[in-house]
Structure 1
Amino acid sequence: MTEQTSAPVSPEDEARIATAKKRIGRSAVIGAIFLMATSAIGPGFITQTATFTAQLGAAFAFAILVSVLIDIAVQLNVWRMITSSGKRAGELANSAIPFSGHVIAALVIIGGLAFNIGNIAGGGLGLNALLGIDPKVGGLLTGALAIILFLIKKAGRVMDVVLVVLGVGMIVMTLVVAFISQPPVGDALRQTFAPDTLNFATITTIVGGTVGGYITYSGAHRYLDSGHTGPEHAGPVMKAAANGILVTGIMRYVLFLAILGVVASGVTLDLTSQAANPAGQAFGAVLGDAGLRIFGAIFWAAAISSVIGAAYTSATFLSTFTRRLAVGWPLQLATVAFIVVSLIVYLSIGTAPAAILVFVGGFNGLILPIGLTVFMYIGWFRRDLLGTKKYPLWLLIAGTVVTALTWYMGAVSVGPIFAFLGMGA
């Protein structure tokens, strides 16, 4: 029996293979940054921003500042731990505390489903404002387009390109509206650090809509696909996470300023009716019909990018229960199934879309401290799982403080969050 050997690879072929791997890795890194960013500035955040800016005015700037500071502590820790270990969040958590990963995975999947229903609802609202079509039909089209994306063979690379285009487009359009609305920037800057009003339910909801639930892990899970894992890549990982936080922070504040300019001018936004679309009203007040169309484009871009992020990240947590869904075509099909379920639930319920978008932010804010507690335990006591004994002390302290803060905010905000929807405490 003769032994078969593979043909030698030429230096030219080796160079081409290395270049292809580098390109794929770079695409995954950029995709991770924008997956986190677009997930954190989805339709839920846009609706929450319009709602709370109308209620609190310039004082809402403080909630945005808190959300960014929490974002820094959460994302830098989560990205670093997940990429250093080379394991997804559920698997890493199980390695530290048996079955804790299953608990986190179940909560993230449930929260991701709730969020995705809201994201699809946001897609319906966006297309309604942009094209005038029925929100249910718009939600159906949004979900269908996301499904088509994940049925493409190279879904990961296509997803990266789509997220970058959508993210840049949202920022540019919002900047234009913020400039035209002429907000009271001085008052906003003052209340960013010294607010006239402090509302923990608002902060918890906005944190949940920008950091909580699946958003906590979306970028880190995508970064794993770059292949740049292990403690030796901690520097580039931290840089990528910081870039993602910078993008989301700019977008959050610019959107707030755009709506603040409208509210400060004396325009009253409808926050209570079944057809309430406060963000759309704000954009319409600035630019009339054109503003409503621009809002529709921004809102739809935010919605479909968040549908992609919620579905992909929630599906990656399914690998906590079965390794068969870890990568490749099975992961793509699981993602498609997640979108289909979200779409069916959205089409069958009658809750006002804006109410869904605000509620799911609060719900995910209540999930956030559970996962953070496990990760802080790993950082303090199970660094062996990260492949190194070294870990920045300042990052652990910041993460621990934020974990305690999110527990406190969640505890004092349960009643107000549900009361916002008239559901009772």
Structure 2
Amino acid sequence: MAKPPSKPTSPRPVRRTGQPSSEGTATTSMKASTRSTLIGAMFLMATSAIGPGFITQTTTFTVQLGAAFAFAIAASILVDIALQLNVWRVIGVSGRRAQELGNLVAPGLGWVMAGLLFVGGLVFNIGNVSGSGLGTDAMLGLDPKLGGALSALIAIGIFLSKRAGLAVDRIVFVLGALMIVLTTYIAITSGPPVGQALKNVVLPEQVSFLAITTLIGGTIGGYIVYAGAHRLLDSGVSGPEHLKDITRGSVTGILITGVMRVVLFLAIFGVVAGGAKLDPANPAASAFEQAAGEVGLRVFGIVLWAAAITSVIGASYTTVSFITSRTRTSDRVRTGLVVAFIVVTTLLFLVIGTAPTTLLVFAGAFNGLLLPVGIGVLLWVAWRRKDLLNGYHYPAWLLGIGGLAWLLTIYLAVRSVRPVIDLFG
């Protein structure tokens, strides 16, 4: 029996050496997109932490503690990493925002978290807009109110741009890198005794628990701890398959903040160790000026402005992410709410000049309360609500160090409430 004629086969496409296949190109493009998103999320978290308050805290403790402040910085970074690892992992693997997880743990709990964060974010954003105005004053000699208003318009323009997500990622990366480079220049100019600082990392001359807890609250307090993780979710990076990216992003974001803290500390420490007296009205600006003269003052203006406007972006984006839904809120509505948030905080700044001390104390208390509540919710999900983790087995060691760090956040909350009690006592 004769065999039926075989079907003609289509010739396989010949790919030249060095020419990528369409599958390879798509995979490379996807990896590049994920990498860009991850960098943006890391710098959004880092620059949200590096605000006007960050600069003030670092300067104050450097003057008070000198070389011993190096130990407080190192200790706070380790605690920050322990907490950030857990926060990013639970949010990233579950694919849900922090307040959504809160509502799944206990009905209404997520809205309590959102309310606390909104109040703190609103007041602190007045301070961020104020800081951008002071930055333009030191940088260009502009009236602080005019500079603050112009900076707010720039932030609004970024969110209204056609590809707002990409614009945010790039702006926070560029300004974050600029802050680190310029502050490193001042640190080199001021000539700090680096050996003395390194020695104090291991053998501190004194240990200030106040400095450590203040740095932790300033680095991951309030909205800051959620900024990068929520940005990853909005970019579609979530689920156990992205665990490596989530872990790398959480640690690197803290390390970026730590690098900025270290170079700022060294810049101020070099001036202080040289015996110079800083102007108590604006010690950070005074230190930069004494380190590099008129150029130093302008550099300080650029650093303060960059720190303030990136914090405006981070605070506005993250606060709105707590009062909207990732799946049910349209991009248009979300953008409108972000713009409204910036407009309201800017108008309040223009009316009152800056956030009054009483309001800042209240905002600090709200942020202090949110930290243990939010961390507690996420650790509970990791421990008892594995059904929300998409089949991921949460490591016991990570849960353990997260639990220890969570106990410290409770102490932070007690510290943040005490000033309010004193205020009305």
Name the TM-score class by shorter chain. Answer: 0.7 to 0.9
User: Does the C-alpha gap of structure 1 residues 189 and 414 become closer, same or farther in structure 2, counting only changes over 3 Å?
Assistant: farther
For 1:176, the equivalent position in structure 2 comes to 185
> What does 1:96-135 align with in structure 2 at a 5 Å threshold?
96-135=105-144
**Structure 2 residue matching 1:98: 3-state secondary structure:** coil
Range moving further from structure 2, 41-50 or 155-164: 41-50
Which position in structure 1 is the counterpart of 2:245?
236
How many angstroms does 1:367 deviate by? Answer: 2.9
1:336 aligns with 2:339: yes
Q: 2:302 aligns with which of 278, 293, 297?
A: 297
User: What is the one-letter code of the residue matched to 2:397?
Assistant: W
* 1:375 corresponds to 2:378: yes
Residue of structure 1 equivalent to 2:83: 74
What is the one-letter code of the residue matched to 1:117? Answer: I
Q: Is the 8 A contact 1:59 1:198 kept in 2?
A: yes
CA offsets, 1:94-152, max 9 Å, x none?
11222111111111111211221121111011111101112122111111110111111
Q: Hey, what's the Cα distance between the residues in 2 that align with 1:351 and 1:316?
A: 25
The 1:183/1:358 distance shift into structure 2, 3 A limit, reads farther
Paired position in structure 1 for 2:13: none
The Cα offsets for residues 326-353 of structure 1, whole Å up to 9 and x where unpaired, read as: x411111111111111111222224589
**1:264/1:361 Cα in 2 relative to 1: closer, same or farther (>3 Å)?**
farther
Provide the secondary structure at the position in 2 that maps to 1:300: helix
Report deviation, 1:163.
1.1
Residue 414 of structure 1: how far off its partner (Å): 4.2
SS at 1:270 equivalent: coil
Equivalent in 164, 169, 173 of residue 173 of structure 2: 164
Tell me the CA shift for residue 366 of structure 1: 4.3
What SS does the corresponding residue of 1:183 show, helix, strand or coil?
Answer: coil
Instruction: Within 5 Å, give how 1:108-257 maps onto structure 2.
Output: 108-257=117-266
State the alpha-carbon separation in 2 of the partners of residues 177 and 349 from structure 1: 33
- Give the superposition deviation at 1:90: 0.7
Q: Aligned AA for 2:246?
A: V
The partner residue of 1:51 within 54, 60, 69 is 60
1:397 aligns with 2:397: no
CA contact (8 A) 1:269 1:282 kept: yes
Q: 1:190 to 1:360 in 2, by over 3 A?
A: farther
- Amino acid of the structure 2 residue aligned with 1:179: I
What is the CA–CA distance in structure 1 between the aligned matches of 2:366 and 2:97, rounded to whole Å? 23
Confirm or deny: 8 A CA contact 2:34 2:237 kept in the other structure: yes
Which residue of structure 2 aligns with residue 5 of structure 1? none
Q: CA deviation at 1:298?
A: 1.0
Distance 1:354 1:107, change over 3 A: closer
Contact 2:349 2:355 in 1 (8 A): no
1:264-288 deviation per Cα after TM superposition (whole angstroms, max 9, x unaligned): 12222233xxxx2221111011011
Q: 1: CA distance between counterparts of 2:289 and 2:416?
A: 32
- Amino acid aligned to 2:413: G
1:280 maps onto 2:285 in alignment: yes
Report if the CA contact (8 A) 2:46-2:253 is conserved: yes
Query: Residue 23 of structure 1: CA displacement?
Result: 4.9
- Does structure 2 conserve the Cα–Cα contact (< 8 Å) formed by 1:205 and 1:365? no
Tell me if structure 1 keeps the 8 A contact 2:217–2:412: no
Contact 2:361 2:419 survives alignment (8 Å): no
Residue 244 to residue 215, structure 1, CA distance change in 2 (3 Å): same
| In 2, Cα distance between equivalents of 1:396 and 1:352 | 37
Structure 1 counterpart of 2:161, one-letter code: I
TM-score by length of 2: 0.87
Of 71-80 and 345-354, deviating more is: 345-354
Alignment partner of 1:387: what SS?
coil
Percent identity between the aligned chains?
54
Distance 1:317 1:235 in 2: 25
Identify the residue that residue 16 of structure 2 maps to in structure 1.
Answer: none
What is the SS of the residue equivalent to 1:319? Answer: coil
State the AA in 2 paired with 1:286: A
Aligned residues: 406
Q: Deviations over 1:173-230 (max 9, x none)?
A: 1111111111122222233344444444433332222111111100001111332311
Match of residue 348 from structure 1: 351
Q: For the residues of structure 2 that align with 1:30 and 1:315, how far apart are their CA atoms?
A: 21
Gaps of 5+ in 1: 1-11
Deviation at 1:356, TM superposition (A): 8.4
Output the amino acid matched with 2:111.
Answer: H
Structure 2 vs 1, CA of residues 293 and 204 (structure 1 numbering), >3 Å: closer, same or farther? same
- Tell me the distance in 1 between the aligned counterparts of 2:35 and 2:212: 34
Q: Is the 8 A contact 1:71 1:245 kept in 2?
A: yes
Q: Which of these two proteins has the greater Rg computed from alpha carbons?
A: 2
User: In 1, Cα distance between the equivalents of 2:350 and 2:371?
Assistant: 28
Compared CA separation, residues 13 and 185, structure 1 to 2 (3 A): closer
- After TM superposition, the structure 1 = structure 2 runs for residues 10-29 of structure 1, keeping only pairs within 5 Å, are 23-29=32-38
Partner Cα separation in structure 2 for residue 100 and residue 303 of structure 1: 31
Q: CA RMSD in A?
A: 2.7
Name the stretch that deviates more: 26-35 or 393-402. Answer: 26-35
